[in-house]
Amino acid sequence: MACSTAPVAPPAATPSTAPASSAAASPSAASVFPGSPDPTRAPGSGGAPSDAPSPPPSESPPTPHPSPVGAVPATIDATRAAALQAALDDAVANVPLPGLSVAIRLPTGELWTGVSGLASLQPPRAVTTETVFGVASITKTFVTALILKLAEEGVLSLDDPLARYLPDFPRAGRITLRHLLTHTSGVFNYFESP
């Protein structure tokens, strides 16, 4: 799942004014995170919305600065947390994957963590917030984004030799970060190693 930094609408109701049916009070994932898929829209329906109520538009802009690094973030309100958990449960139920663990920090600094499904099918073991997932090739996207950000900030250069960071790596003096990021380094594919 992707996380957007778009402004977030307030919850549909506060705990003191929430209707008796929590399902009717829960905003959809699209209203919690604008631009995200709306689980209240049936697949193949041409995007026709369900009869689920929509939350009111935002009355005040979100706080422009997230909590500082190391600060203990505020937690998301119960209504929004219920909507996020419902979206997570829906994803596990309707997408061919056994389980998910998600952490979301809003631009306001609020934090939500949720889990759904199984970490292991045999034997069945539930996902927890401590479950470690292998993310395979998606790490290339994360690492590339971080390296480019560090290059933009002047912390490193794409033309730095690998030897600056891993001096004992074979041929590290001839390989640059740019080579690694563009898959032109000539480094052996260790997955094919016997």
DSSP code of 37? -
Using the 3D structure, point to which of 128, 150, 169 is the last residue of a domain: 128
Same-domain pairing of 36 and 82: yes
Residues forming the active site: 137
How much is the pLDDT for 38? Answer: 41
How much is the pLDDT for 133? Answer: 87
Contacts of 176 (CB under 8 A, 6+ apart): 158, 159, 160, 161, 162, 185
Same-domain pairing of 86 and 118: yes
pLDDT surpasses 70 at 137: yes
Same-domain pairing of 116 and 169: no
Q: What gap in Å lies between CA 59 and CA 9, rounded to an integer?
A: 8
Mean pLDDT, residues 125-143? 91
pLDDT surpasses 70 at 156: yes
pTM over 0.75: no
Using the 3D structure, point to which of 101, 128, 155 is the last residue of a domain: 128
Residue 178 lies in a domain: yes
Q: Which residue has the higher pLDDT, 149 or 3?
A: 149
Mean pLDDT, residues 84-105? 93
Q: What gap in Å lies between CA 194 and CA 183, rounded to an integer?
A: 21
The overall average pLDDT reported for the chain is 72
Domain that holds residue 121: 6-13+21-40+74-128
Name the domain count of the chain.
Answer: 2
Taking CA 191 as the corner, what is the angle to CA 188 and CA 194, rounded to the nearest 5 degrees? 90
Identify the band that residue 1 occupies on the pLDDT scale cut at 50, 70 and 90. very low
Q: pLDDT digit string (tens) for 28-87?
A: 444 444 444 443 333 343 433 334 443 343 443 433 444 444 555 677 889 999 999 999
How much is the pLDDT for 188? Answer: 83
How much is the pLDDT for 45? Answer: 37
